[in-house]
A and B are shown apart, each in its own frame.
Chain A
Amino acid sequence: MARKRRSKTEPQTTMEMENEPATPIISAFVEKDTTFKSLRERLAEINQQGGVTGYILRSSTSASVDLREPSDLMALALLSSHAVDTGHEFSETFNLGTIENILLEGKNAKVLCVALDQIIVNIFMEKSVDHNQILNKICGDLGE
């Protein structure tokens, strides 16, 4: 199911795509779903921070997107997905271990990709934003 929601206070667009199974929910799924919801709340808070331009939160069953420029969705989703794949490739080649996070710094903006279990968080921000602070907020959130 896919629905589109436009916030009255924020000019941003939020798109949520959920595909929850009708079959009985197993405990692992509940746990993952709780983490997903918790992350989404945390990301909504981070997204209010100055310089943060949006996020894509993705698990195997759900996705949540909030971007200042919704037209960039495809390009940014493709970039972050490809960054994760490249990270896995490099991890195998150079024995980096499990990829925990990836920081892409472009000429105009930067992207922080964080892998938490099977949930991928991509946060888009201006270059001046302290990505370490955001990383701590996300990872700290998981530990709570």
Chain B
Amino acid sequence: MSTGARVFAVQNVLNEIKNISPEVSNTFLFAINGEILAKDDDTSLLSAGPAAKAFNILDEKAKSIGRLESVTFCGSHQRMNISRLNDSYLATIASKESSPRRAETLTRVLVPAILRLVDNLQLVTEQEPTIELNEPEPSALDTPADETQEAAETDEDSQTNNVDKSEPAEPNLDAEQHESELQYEPSPEEPPATQFIIEHLGGLLVAPDTVRVDSAAIMQWKELYGDKEINEVEVETLSGVKTRCKFKPIKDSKLEGKGVIQMPQKMQLALQTSQGELVMVKPVVE
């Protein structure tokens, strides 16, 4: 949660969760160290802050059952659920009558999806300052008279118009370069995760350690990593259970482009998941 934009996006999502589910009274996101990362408009820092710290103390005592993935406090009026989302926790307080399944869908699917989206957008916006730094270069090649004219125009107009003005002045080659800079290119250390729905893979000749992935996703990985070898993928459930396995493209053409991963029963058991559940899949780049 390094930028204000991310906080703003998450806070909007938390407020939207409340709009979708009126039975939800409070939601807030906090880090492992107890820092409040985002909260809805109705939650005060005075209540969320100490709660996050109290939860972290509880988490420290939960080593005997592994790290805490989720805690639900059922009260006579309301129910409070705290679920782990990668390196943070999302707390949701809803009325006792509300459907726990619905709240779980919202918190474990919608919020992580938005966080990923915001992170990807953040990667793109982090590239933008590079363009701004490159902008003076073409102007340096211009005549001094042009520079003066441009400076005068800049003084007259607001700063927000800078990008619009510089675009037509830039040569085509530069524009192409900037477009390539704007493309989302994850670093090899951080391969992109794709979300898939589990489809059961059965049969006598099915390898228990191999999943079948959408060939479009495999093509995308090959484009991203070029000559680097990708022999395995890392599959992670929304509850954080992960495994590495081999992969092959989906054979059934009907399942192509459906966002489906075919998984043998043995692997589903190992991941404590089942058909219809969501998983995140990352290529393991050698």
Residues of A that sit less than 8 Å from B by CB: 72, 75-76, 78-79, 82-83, 86-87, 89-91, 93-111, 124, 127-128
Given A82-B57, A82-B58, A98-B75, is A104 in contact with B51 using a C-beta cutoff of 8 Å?
no
Q: In the complex, how many angstroms separate the beta carbon of A107 from the nearest chain B beta carbon?
A: 3
Interface residues of B (CB under 8 A from A): 25-26, 47, 50-51, 54-55, 57-58, 61-80, 93, 96, 240-241, 272
Q: Which residues in A have their C-beta under 8 angstroms from that of B79?
A: 96
Known interface pairs A94-B26, A100-B74, A102-B73; A109-B57 also in contact (CB < 8 Å): no
Are the CB atoms of B62 and A91 closer together than 8 Å?
A: no
Q: Let me know if B76 and A127 touch, CB within 8 A.
A: no
The list of the 8 closest CB pairs from A to B, nearest first, reads A107-B66, A96-B75, A106-B65, A97-B76, A97-B77, A108-B66, A75-B64, A97-B75
Main secondary structure of the interface of B (DSSP, over half): mixed
Q: Knowing that A101-B74, A109-B64 touch, tell me 15 more A-B residue pairs with CB under 8 angstroms.
A: A75-B61, A75-B64, A79-B58, A86-B57, A91-B73, A94-B25, A95-B78, A97-B75, A100-B75, A103-B70, A103-B72, A104-B62, A104-B70, A106-B66, A127-B272
- Contacts A86-B54, A106-B65, A108-B66 given: A96-B71 contact, CB under 8 Å? no
Chain A residues closer than 8 Å to B80, beta-carbon distance: 90, 94, 96
Whether B76 contacts A100 by the Cβ 8 Å rule is yes
Q: Is the CB of B58 within 8 A of A109?
A: no
Residue of B nearest to A83 (CB): B58
Contact A83 B71 (CB under 8 A): yes
Q: A106-B69, A107-B67 are in contact. Are A89 and B54 (CB under 8 A)?
A: yes
Task: Tell me, rounded to whole Å, the shortest Cβ–Cβ distance linking A65 to chain B.
Answer: 14
- Whole-angstrom CA separation of A96 from B77 in the bound complex: 5
Given contacts A79-B61, A83-B58, contact A104 B71 (CB under 8 A): yes
Whole-angstrom CA separation of A51 from B63 in the bound complex: 19
- Interfacial chain A residues near B68, Cβ < 8 Å: 104-106
* B93, chain A: closest CB distance, angstroms: 5
* Interface contact B76-A98, CB-CB below 8 Å: yes
